[in-house]
Amino acid sequence: MSPSPSPADLATPPSINGGRVDDEAVDDTAAEAPPARTLLVWDAPNIDMSLGSLLGTRPTSAFRPRFDAVGRWLLSQAGAEGVAEATVFTNVVPGSTEIVRPWVEALRNVGFAVFAKPKVYEDSDVDSDMLAHIELRRSEGGLAHVVVASGDGRAFREPLEDLVAEGVTVTVIGFREYAAFAVASEIVDFLDLEDIEGVFREPLPRVSLDTLPDTGAWLPPLRSLRSLLER
């Protein structure tokens, strides 16, 4: 199941005359190639988890990604003649509806479609829904560029490599610390979220063993020492 396309994305159906499909309308539609589509599928649970791990705490507003900046970047990838489609896939934990609703409405107001799925079971993730939507757009034709915001190589590496083999450009966006499959790939492009202009209001405090300055750096604790007494 995938989010419904916006009315602007839907092709005009062929005219019907007396219960008969107009052959001329069908021929015209068949002759016209679909516009090149750039599709973004954003794995909200995975990106949220990666960002929290990167920061060592729940992100504040300064360290939450700005989807308007992501949208502008996506439009630049699609170009003036292409179609840009931005989608976010998320789980909704029972009882959290009122907390999640403002975020979902903000995304929709920016121009993103949101696929929301109840988190009923541990395995009620959205990976299969993301892949189903990618496959839907691929089957419709015109899919030129797929952008996946996720570091989950187990779910996405092989399907994305298959798309590349079919001639589709594939870009993974996320955090280099948690998207090793894309960073190391020779056929899938990778772009760190922080390298997209304006996505974060402030630079992320991302000192790690992989990015140590020559002078060294402190790696702060991920939790209070006193938490040892609470176990």
Start-to-end C-alpha separation, the chain: 42
191, 198 in Cβ contact below 8 A? no
- pLDDT (tens, 9 = 90+) of the chain, 231 residues, equals 444 444 334 333 333 333 444 555 555 555 678 889 999 999 999 999 999 988 878 888 889 999 999 999 999 999 999 999 999 999 999 999 999 999 999 999 999 999 999 988 877 799 999 999 999 999 999 999 999 999 999 999 999 999 999 999 999 999 998 999 999 999 999 999 999 999 999 888 877 777 777 889 787 776 778 888 876
The number of angstroms, rounded, from the C-alpha of 169 to the middle of its chain's C-alpha atoms is 15
Give, in degrees to the nearest 5, the angle at Cα 172 between 109 and 58: 60
- Tokens 């915001």 belong to residue: 149
* Phi and psi, residue 148, nearest 5°: -115, 120
Q: Look at residue 78 in the predicted model and tell me its pLDDT.
A: 97
Q: Look at residue 5 in the predicted model and tell me its pLDDT.
A: 45
Q: Look at residue 48 in the predicted model and tell me its pLDDT.
A: 94
Q: Look at residue 59 in the predicted model and tell me its pLDDT.
A: 85
146, 169 in Cβ contact below 8 A? yes
175, 63 in Cβ contact below 8 A? no
Count CB-CB contacts under 10 A for residue 191: 18
CA 163/CA 167 separation, integer angstroms: 7
* Phi and psi, residue 15, nearest 5°: -70, 150
Question: Counting every residue, how long is the chain?
Answer: 231
Strand order in the sheet with 83-92: 113-118, 83-92, 37-43, 143-149, 169-174, 189-192
Pairing of strands 83-92, 169-174: unpaired
Provide the whole-model pTM.
0.79
Q: How many CA atoms lie within 13 A of 156 on its CB side?
A: 29
